[in-house]
Structure 1
Amino acid sequence: MNRYAIIDIGGKQLQVEPGRFHDTHNFGLIENMSKSDTKISINRVLLIRREDNIIIGHPWLKKATVRGRILHSCLSDKLVIRKIHSKKKTRRTNGYRNNLIRFVVDSIDFKSTSLNGSLL
């Protein structure tokens, strides 16, 4: 875990690394984001770390971008809700699954210099 970035996506903070995939609920108001191999770039980067260098934004880093692509849409684990009313002999079971989008991070860029192999 030599390099990573913390991004703000869908109202939540997510720690991302190049080459790994991550699941998130939504990317905002952009339509047709569930298509596979759609290129994405995220500008809301809160923090970038590379080995011993840590760069913190206030609130976001300017000129910092996380680039990646969408792999596919998927579903989260099923959340089961059970309601049992005592002394009435009634039971009710409801459940749902959230729609998620799985994406992979290709690179973390800062000041037009990629953090994959070059220095800051």
Structure 2
Amino acid sequence: MLSAGLYAIPGMRTDCRAVALGEHDELDMTGHCAVPLSPRMLEASYLVLTMNAWQRRMVEQRYPSVRGRVFRPLETTDVGDPYRNTVDAYAEILQNLSGGLEHGSSRLTRLVNESTYLHGSTPGLHS
């Protein structure tokens, strides 16, 4: 799995609030750095996940060849960007994602399985 952003500043470290929340859940994000989304990443990905409808539209507009492979993990809910916000904002996003993914896990499993079948077994991408 790769992680990239539409407007990521290359090499920027993960916000300390997100790192602290990750540590609470035994997830080490200290080595993670921002990476801008690239055509090469998209070509190598069979599934692209975006956090909201706007990101999905932007990815599909910039890279029309990925249409049909771009989805939101919480299809009916947009996930906000807590960047430079409070720890509580990060925690709320994490809670929304965790709860939504738990309920939507069968949908994501289906998307992964369908994408793998159609496009081979290449890693997915999260923008």
Higher share in helix:
2
TM-score using structure 2 length:
0.22
Structure having the higher Rg:
1
Give the structure, 1 or 2, with the largest relative contact order (CA under 8 Å, sep 6 or more): 2
Higher share in strand:
1
